[in-house]
């Protein structure tokens, strides 16, 4: 089937899926750069953000209980905002609801309170910045877009935790990060799940979709690495690809360390993801991610 939506066209069929899956499985060369249908672009507030060169989405956790790095108080949020932009972040991803394993998230009212505080500071410090809100709640997304002009919604549940999310995104006309967070049952299931949701979003008129395979969500350590090994299969959906592995447990549990010691592992996985065609790195350390992109792009750009 083919669904045209703005500047994107979705091609998703059983036969093209089989071709992509077996081609990637048999090729098995980790270091061979993946050729994708780039350049992609996303419409951000009426301006096109081009992804011909990978970009960094910097993380701002306005919550007291994130698994790694949190920023509370006006000055900490202001300094974090300025630091990320100065280091080259193209997007600021602001969240106020920890989604670490085993944690009970705050209620909607508290999430909104935290976001109002954080976003008011971010907008004052950087009124022209591209800001994404990290939330799985449709009402929270609507509040952030309506009150603070947030230009993107990053939903770690892929619409599963709030059935109003897809409808809300269609009404807000903002780019949407669609995450695959269901239990891992193979790369072919990830592709099928994301493909069906992309089709549903396109039918509702949502054109600017970014795929996030959901590292760390509903996946064991081994499954996370299987997903990374087969990441390029997701290019079959012909949409920009975001990778969020920064300081996650797939790094520090493998190495027997802690989240604070996971920067080196993060950079290694960023490099692999870029070789497999990632367009956006969601990262805590923006400077290091920018440098990783520059070096990887240099190597991948060299031709014999």
> Distance between CA 181 and CA 159 in Å, rounded?
10
* Active-site residue flag, 287: no
> Dihedral (C-alpha) 273, 275, 277, 282: value to the nearest 10 degrees?
30
- Beta pairing partners, 5: 8
Of 108, 248, 276, 287, which one is the catalytic site residue?
Answer: 248
> Distance between CA 247 and CA 268 in Å, rounded?
11
* In contact, 84 and 118? CB cutoff 8 Å: no
**Inter-CA distances, 81 with 74, 89, 91, 118, Å:** 11, 10, 10, 10
**Inter-CA distances, 248 with 179, 196, 219, 228, 298, Å:** 16, 27, 12, 13, 27
> Distance between CA 249 and CA 265 in Å, rounded?
10
> Distance between CA 205 and CA 182 in Å, rounded?
24
Q: Helices H, strands E: what count in the chain?
A: 10, 12
Helix (H) or strand (E) holding 292: helix 286-301
Q: Which residue has the tokens 């672009």?
A: 41
Of 80, 142, 197, 282, which one is the catalytic site residue?
Answer: 282
* Active-site residue flag, 298: no
214: closest CA among 189, 201, 238?
A: 189
Active site residues per annotation: 248, 282
């Amino acid at each position: 089937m083919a669904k045209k939506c703005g500047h994107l066209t979705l091609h998703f069929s059983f036969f093209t899926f089989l071709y992509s899956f077996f081609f990637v499985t048999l090729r098995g060369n980790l270091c061979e750069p993946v050729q994708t249908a780039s350049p992609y672009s996303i419409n951000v507030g009426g301006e096109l953000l081009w992804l011909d060169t990978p970009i960094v989405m910097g993380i701002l956790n306005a919550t007291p209980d994130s698994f790694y790095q949190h920023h509370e108080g006006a000055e900490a949020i202001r300094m974090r905002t300025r630091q990320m932009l100065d280091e080259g972040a193209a997007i600021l991803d602001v969240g106020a609801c920890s989604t670490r394993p085993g944690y009970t998230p705050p209620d909607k009212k508290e999430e909104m309170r935290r976001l109002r505080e954080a976003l008011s500071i971010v907008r004052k410090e950087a009124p022209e910045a591209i800001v994404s809100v990290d939330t799985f709640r449709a009402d929270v997304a609507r509040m952030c877009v309506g009150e603070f002009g947030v230009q993107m919604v990053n939903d770690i549940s892929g619409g599963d935790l709030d059935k109003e999310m897809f409808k809300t995104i269609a009404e807000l006309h903002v780019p949407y990060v669609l995450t695959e967070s269901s239990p891992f049952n193979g790369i072919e299931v990830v592709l099928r799940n994301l493909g069906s949701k992309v089709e549903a979003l396109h039918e509702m008129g949502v054109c600017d979709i970014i795929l996030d395979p959901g590292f760390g969500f509903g996946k064991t350590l081994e499954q996370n690495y299987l997903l990374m090994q087969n990441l390029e299969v997701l290019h079959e959906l012909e949409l920009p690809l975001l990778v969020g592995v920064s300081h996650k447990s797939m790094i520090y549990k493998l190495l027997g360390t802690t989240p604070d010691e996971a920067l080196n592992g993060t950079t290694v996985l960023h490099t692999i993801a870029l070789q497999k065609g990632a367009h956006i790195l969601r990262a805590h350390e923006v400077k290091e991610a920018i440098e990783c992109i520059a070096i990887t792009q240099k190597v991948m750009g060299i031709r014999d």
